[in-house]
Amino acid sequence: MPQKMPQMPRSPRKYRPPVNSVATRSADSIGSEAHSRKRTADTDPESNAGWPGALEKVFAIDVRSLALLRVCLGLLLITDLIARGMNLEAHYTDTGVMPIAYLSSTTLAQYYYLTIHTMHGSYGVQCALFLIAAVFALALIAGYRTRFVTIVCWVLLSSLQSRNAMIMTGADQILRMMIFWGMFLPLGACWSVDSHRHPDPHQLPKRVFSVATIALLLQVCFIYWFTVALKSDPQWRSEGTAVYHALTLDQFATPFGRSLIAYPALLKFFTFATMALELFGPVLVFTPLFPGPVRSFMVLTFICFHLGLGVTLELGLFPLISGTAWIAFLPGWFWDHWFRRTARFALGARNPLSRPWVEDRLQRLPQRAFRTGLHPAAQVFAGLCLLYVFLWNVRSLDFNRYETYFSQKLNWIGEILRLDQYWNLFAPFPMSDHGWYVIPAKLGDGTEVDLFNDGAPVTWTKPALVSAAYKNDRWRKYLVNLWMQENSNQRVLYASYLVRKWNREHEGDKYVSHVTMNFMLQRDVVVTPMSGAGRGGGWLQKLFATPTFRTSDPEKIVLGEYNFTAGGVPSIPAVVAPPPVP
């Protein structure tokens, strides 16, 4: 009987990091790894000849910028889901302020919005959709099957935003459009699972140029250019009082923002500086003179600008989302020079994030070629979408004037693809109405509580900080929209939600039987037209002369009175009093 050959003991497997792996790269090479990649348009003089080369120099995007943009967009999607999830029942279920039956008979009956969030109004189904969106957002951060994941993220985000338009903000539009244009871009070409799975990562390009890169960069510029065009009121263009009025809005102003009201001349400077930055800033990022330093400086300027908005006004995720949009403008100069030196200082000679076990698992993944290019049909589609977005924004400046050239009959395209947008933040001027809600509810035992303040005793005194009376940015946007006359039919839905929530937690004679919805309205009143503008003042004093305002005394506006059954079902309204037209 043949004997078995004895097996030699296996030597332990030595870990060999692959070429271009995270483990083999030092911090000194993080910013300059793309130098070893194949020749691209920025190094080939023949490909830069003529106007196509000039366009490429201006509108090409560094893949490292796209990678950082991808990670930030994924993080913002998760942050947005967490923020929305805090009010999931109130804003997305049939027991909240926007039941599916009402949505189907109003918004979805008027617009071609597509949303899977209306397939069921239960809390469990909405939670499941939120969790699915979070999983795909994590996949986007990792850069796994990036193109497909980006498409799914856009579908889920558009569906979620269409579920309740009353809480939509300008930040939601920016995030949605960044994800939309990202579907046409190789967001996973760098610092991703997809790039590690590519057979030869060195062959991935350093920069990409396509119709989609043009569209993404111009979309960011459109936000500011059309905002400036819509800010047509003298408060922005001649008086310079727009920032002052914005900071007097009780619903939005932070304590720091309120403290700046004491410096009207400074706020006048900020008003004109804001107009100048929004108009000329996007132009400077395309300058041919010192493009790397200038573009990097403008990106930093806009990020600081939005952070400044965030510390003076309660704007939710708007400052973060707006600042993230500018990451796409970061040039190769930023990564090859400034970031390279910063990374070497911060990380030392070796990247601390590199670990053999991470690289080992990445190498076990099957190889899969990552396509950075775009099919010609997709290029044409992206170009048509860019043209559509431009015409949509032009029409928003004067609908009656431009509707002839861009018919309203074409709205269905923008509504299905969610290309619809309107950049009217504080345009044409900051809203003049501000104040707070008082919603007394009469209980079965005859006592009264304020449902707006979670059952606290009713008081008509102005809160010390009105913006803090709103639970979060979504509720703030909802209640600002609820004050408007065109949304008056939704007030009973809000009152019903508050009553159901209260009655669910109380029993017997503590049920709500009657609700009165009040808004304590205040307005800014001009005391002196232009203080400091007399003949005796110097030119500088006249330049920064500002009107003097005072805030009017609160005026109680009854938005509606409603009777309720013990089950929280509204009966015929006792009184429905619409507010006066501002």
Quick: pLDDT tens for 56-82. 889 999 999 999 999 999 999 999 999
Q: What is the separation of C-alpha 90 from the centre of its chain, rounded to a whole number of angstroms? A: 21
Paired strand residues for 313? 253
- β-partners of residue 448 are 442
Question: Is the residue at 22 inside a domain?
Answer: no
Place of tokens 């303040």: 453
Residue closest to 212 by CA, chosen among 382, 39, 331: 382
Q: pLDDT band at residue 209, thresholds of 50, 70 and 90?
A: very high
Mean pLDDT computed over 30-49: 42
Kindly report the backbone phi and psi dihedral angles of residue 203, in degrees, each rounded to the nearest multiple of 5, phi listed first: -85, -5
| CA atoms within a 13 Å half-sphere pointing along the CA-CB vector of 562 | 25
CA neighbor of 284 nearest in space, from 264, 301, 304: 301
**Residue 439 and residue 292 share a domain:** no
From 383, 417, 451, give the residue that closes a domain. 417
Percentage of residues of the chain with pLDDT beyond 90: 64
Which of 114, 167, 102, 200 has its CA nearest to residue 492?
Answer: 102
Tokens 């397939």 — which residue? 119
Reduced to 3 states (helix: H, G, I; strand: E, B; else coil), residue 371 is coil
Q: Is residue 429 part of a domain?
A: no
Q: Give the domain-ending residue among 359, 388, 417.
A: 417
199: in domain: yes
Confidence tier at 47 by pLDDT (50, 70, 90): very low
Q: Is the pLDDT of residue 15 over 50?
A: no
Asked if residue 501 lies in contact with residue 512, where contact means CB atoms within 8 angstroms, the answer is no
Higher confidence at residue 500 or residue 342?
Answer: 500
- Tokens (6 digits) for 573: 């309204």
Arithmetic mean of pLDDT over the chain: 84
- Number of C-beta neighbours around residue 13 at 10 A: 7
Statement to judge: residues 252 and 370 lie in one domain: yes
At residue 444, the pLDDT reads 87
Residue with tokens 């698992």: 361
| Domain co-membership, 399 together with 439 | no
- Could you give phi then psi for residue 241, rounded to 5 degrees? -110, 5
298 domain-assigned: yes
Mean pLDDT is highest, among 39-43, 352-356, 421-425, for 421-425
Cβ atoms 231, 202 nearer than 8 A: no
In the prediction, which pLDDT does 509 show? 84
Q: Would you say residue 536 has pLDDT above 60? A: no
In a domain, 423, yes or no: no
* 3-class secondary-structure state, position 507: coil
351 and 392, same domain (yes or no): yes
Q: Which amino acid is at 476?
A: R
Q: Where residue 13 falls among pLDDT bands split at 50, 70, 90?
A: very low
HEC assignment per residue over 271-305: HHHHHHHHHHHHHHCCCCCCHHHHHHHHHHHHHHH
Q: How many residues does the chain have?
A: 582
pTM of the model: 0.86
Q: Are residues 117 and 217 in the same domain?
A: yes
CA dihedral 362, 364, 365, 367 (to 10 degrees): 100
User: Do the strands 546-551 and 555-563 form a parallel or antiparallel pair, or are they unpaired?
Assistant: unpaired
Token output for 31: 């910013």
Q: Which of 275, 247, 274, 286 is nearest to 263 (CA)?
A: 247
* CA count, 13 A, side-chain hemisphere, 57: 18
Report the C-alpha gap between 33 and 22 in whole angstroms.
Answer: 11
Query: Are 162 and 112 spatial neighbours (Cβ–Cβ below 8 Å)?
Result: no
Q: Which residue has the higher pLDDT, 368 or 417?
A: 417
Instruction: Report yes or no on 428 lying in a domain.
Output: no
Q: If pLDDT is split at 50, 70 and 90, which confidence band does 107 have?
A: confident
Closest CA to 555 of 515, 582, 518: 518
Q: Are residues 309 and 382 in the same domain?
A: yes
pLDDT at res. 52: 74
pLDDT at res. 331: 94
Question: Which among 62, 78, 169 has a CA at the least distance from the CA of 425?
Answer: 169
Residue 538: domain span: 434-563
* 12 part of a folded domain: no
What is the distance, to the nearest Å, from the Cα of residue 300 to the centroid of all Cα atoms in its chain?
18
- In this prediction, residue 361 carries a pLDDT of 59
Residue 361: partners with Cβ closer than 8 Å, 6 or more residues away? none
| Distance of alpha carbon 368 from alpha carbon 188, whole angstroms | 12
Whole-number pLDDT of residue 357: 52
* Whether 253 and 371 share a structural domain: yes
Contact 395, 411 (CB under 8 A): no
Angle of helix 170-182 relative to helix 211-230, nearest 10 degrees?
160
Between CA 413 and CA 545 the distance in angstroms is 48
- CA angle 71/75/78 to nearest 5° reads 145
pLDDT of residue 37: 41
| Same domain as 389, residue 360 | yes
Average pLDDT (172-185) is: 97
Q: Are residues 412 and 487 in the same domain?
A: no
Parallel/antiparallel/unpaired status of strands 434-438 and 512-522: antiparallel
Model pLDDT, residue 289: 86
Flag whether pLDDT at 22 surpasses 50.
no
User: Mean pLDDT throughout 511-533?
Assistant: 78
Residue 19 has pLDDT above 70, yes or no: no
Same domain? For 182 and 319 the reply is: yes
If asked whether residues 404 and 439 sit together in one domain, one would say no
Distances (CA, A) of 220 to 215, 329, 331: 9, 10, 16
CA–CA distance, 329 with 282 (Å, rounded to integer): 10
pLDDT band at 523 (very low <50, low <70, confident <90, very high): confident
Q: Which amino acid is at 258?
A: R
Total tally of structural domains belonging to the chain: 2
Of 153, 185, 168, 145, nearest in space to 76 by CA: 153
Instruction: From 373, 322, 326, select the one nearest 211 (Cα to Cα).
Output: 373
Q: Within a domain: residue 541?
A: yes
Task: Specify the range with the lowest mean pLDDT, choosing from 147-161, 168-182, 442-456.
Answer: 442-456
Tell me, yes or no, whether 447 and 534 share the same domain.
Answer: yes
